Amino acid sequence: MKKYKYGNLEFSCSLSELNRGFSWAKEQALAYVHDGEDPVGLWYEAALPARDAFCMRDTAHHAQGAAALGLSAHTKNMLYRFAESISEEKDWCGWWEITKAGEPCPDDYDSDGDFWYNFPGSFEVIAACWQEYLRTGDRDFITDPVFSRYYELTCTRLVEYWDKDGDGLLEHYPEYGRRGLASYNEGDTAILTAGDMLASQWAAYGAYSEILERQGKEAEAAAYRQKQEVLKQRYLTEWYDDKVGRFYGAVLQDGSFYQGYYKEGNFLPIYFGILDGEGLLEKAYEQLVKNPPENVEGMSYMPQIFYACGDEKRGLEALKKLGDPNLPRREYPEVSFAYIGAVAGCVMGIEAAEGTIVTKSGIPEGETAEIRKLPVFGGTICVKQEGKTGSVFRNETGSTQIWKAVFEGECREMYLDGRKAAFENGRDSAGKPISFLFTEVMPMQEIKIQAMRWEK
């Protein structure tokens, strides 16, 4: 019998492939969960199966699906273990992969001077902690001294030590060996730095600035927002070749750009959000479509990336592919957790942020989808999407929630439980027009919003 309440999430959809995929993904993901019987405490597997371990990249990517399954306490403990592992002896790195015994994984670690480490992981842990705070409202991610120490040391001492040329980016030199790789792309470890290195650092600076602001450190928060903007402008200018209309994914040891498509170095910047709202997002997306990932690790990011780029059709296709029983290595833990995360965050379009819950339908017109018992802010919610124009929200938490209902395109009218309501227009991360409405939802209240769009 499990000690903690989780795994009650339910989902149903008029698209039968998604129902089958969800059932498999939920069962598979929950099979990897451990309830504190091991020295490390609460954890779930987020590494190669049979290693009995969790690594930085996988944990950060698992987190959204884990939250939907009610595993936020597990994720928090895992992130905490990474945070407490940072040390001067490891030159301000943490442990890349931690076992159920609470020790560095022997497959990756021999000593503090010899261990496997991908630099983007240091930064993605910060971004993941921020996202967990937004999903849960748990202020330990803001105030706990272990987390705070990790954020500060990563954004200061780690950068100072590994940025040998002083340009603000971490570099990998051949003499480092496996200690301090500049990308999640492990196919070629000889590069100097990569696009996912820059983008993960950008995401971490943004997250840290938000955390500092909530700690009351306005001046420091502003400084990191500025650092974040500098990185973004570098990526938009130095890393983009307007002559051929594409982004570079990596820099070679001689300082020149890698001329091919560098997989994670190219598609993860989209995932990290550095191109949100930018016209060049379309160019990066075009490159990805021409160079799809070949392994399940890369494929597991595709539903989220396609949806973020406004391509629902490819997003659904990518999700169905992850759920295909014939997909090689489908048992890799990241696949099932990413599937659950994409159902909640893409198909249902649910996002939580400090007391506001956002929904946006990710299913085609004429289809329906419903998610039930989704954990958020200490309780659960139920959301139903009716094509592109109808959304139903039931608040099963113990407090009033703010619901932001988002709909594609520019609407001419919206109705809240049958009554005409005021709404606003805007644009999403892909730059496409949207209409949205804010409303309060009382505990145990159910509200329906119907959007009337202009005829095409």
H or E element: which one contains 209?
helix 195-214
CA torsion through residues 121, 172, 289, 298, sign: negative
* Coil vs helix vs strand at 85: coil
CB 178 within 8 A of CB 117: yes
Long-range contacts of 255-261 (CB under 8 A, 24+ apart): 255/192, 258/191, 261/287, 261/290, 261/291
Domain definitions of the chain by residue range: 36-311, 358-453
What residues does 375 pair with on adjacent strands? 380
What whole-number distance in Å separates Cα of residue 351 and Cα of residue 349?
A: 7
Tell which CATH classification among 1.50.10.10, 3.40.50.1580, 1.10.580.10, 3.40.50.300 matches the domain 36-311: 1.50.10.10
- In contact, 43 and 49? CB cutoff 8 Å: no
In this structure, the number of other CB atoms found within 10 A of the CB of residue 18 comes to: 23
Cα angle, residue 434 at apex, residues 432 and 435 outer, rounded to 5°? 170
User: CA-based Rg of the chain, rounded to a whole angstrom?
Assistant: 21
- Please report which residue ranges of 293-441 form alpha helices under DSSP H: 296-299, 302-308, 312-322, 333-342
CATH-assigned architecture of domain 358-453 = Sandwich (2.60)
How would you write the pLDDT of the chain (456 residues) with one tens digit per residue? 455 689 999 999 999 999 999 999 999 999 999 999 999 999 999 999 889 999 999 999 999 999 999 999 999 999 999 999 999 999 999 999 999 999 999 999 999 999 999 999 999 999 999 999 999 999 999 999 999 999 999 999 999 999 999 999 999 999 999 999 999 998 877 899 999 999 999 999 999 999 999 999 999 999 999 999 999 999 999 999 999 999 999 999 999 999 999 999 999 999 999 999 899 999 999 999 999 999 999 999 999 999 999 999 999 999 999 999 999 999 999 999 999 999 999 999 999 988 899 999 999 999 999 999 999 998 999 999 999 999 999 999 999 999 999 999 999 999 999 999 999 999 998 889 999 999 999 999 999 999 998 766
Distance CA 333, CA 58 (A): 9
188 secondary structure, DSSP code: -
Helices (H), 9-158: 16-30, 56-68, 72-84, 119-136, 140-143, 145-153
Measured between alpha carbons, how far is 389 from 359 in angstroms, rounded to an integer? 12
